[in-house]
A and B are shown apart, each in its own frame.
Chain A
């Protein structure tokens, strides 16, 4: 069964305390993995796309990496404004169509 699992469910950090979020997946024939950020009361905002194992993408204090079974979102020296829920998603294909399946997200809180 195609599945996306994120851990931890919630993460509390002090400002400047680096950490990583995990997204593991079980899909046949990975065609990409997406990371999103979601602020309260808003829709998910696209952060990164990763397509192949070993690929890395960076944006400010965030770096996403991909292996054959999981992806990590590394947060270096986070600030309070990085507080949000981070979602990962992978496309799956059934028949002639395709759609995304999402993990349940990691809620990150960064305290000053």
Chain B
């Protein structure tokens, strides 16, 4: 019973590099979302998706891209990494926005 799986768990990047954070869920959830968690800021929504082919921006979308080609996968792309993107990133999924979200264990990302 995997739930929400995020890879990698840790990553160090140099400024300007690009990378993709992977997220997969096996619960057939339509709603998926990406958050970043910073000290003193709480969880902030980056992008979310209500189903395959449909995505929308959250509170802090700049510098990130998403796509949703399948129900299971929702990757987050950093286009050109900046030190301000150093954070812990969480992916979550649920049946709908007003249902409890299930979270992965996060990707800890450092940008040098």
Contacts and interface: CB of A to CB of B under 8 A. Distances in A.
Interface residues of B, number: 26
A86 to B, nearest CB: 12
Nearest to A49: B100
A59 interface: no
Nearest to A101: B45
B112 interface: no
Given A32-B98, A99-B48, A104 B42 contact: yes
Contacts of A46: 100-102
B97 A97 contact: yes
A41 B6 CA distance: 13
Interface string A41-82: 111111001000000000000000000000000000000000
A43 B97 contact: no
B98 A91 contact: yes
Instruction: Give the bracket for the number of chain A residues in contact with chain B.
Output: 20 to 34
A31 B97 CA distance: 10
Contacts of B4: 43
Contacts of A44: 43, 90, 103
Contacts of A101: 45
Nearest to B56: A97
22 contacts: A32-B98, A36-B103, A41-B106, A42-B105, A43-B4, A43-B103, A43-B104, A43-B106, A46-B102, A49-B100, A87-B42, A91-B97, A91-B98, A98-B96, A98-B97, A98-B98, A99-B33, A99-B45, A99-B58, A99-B97, A104-B41, A105-B42
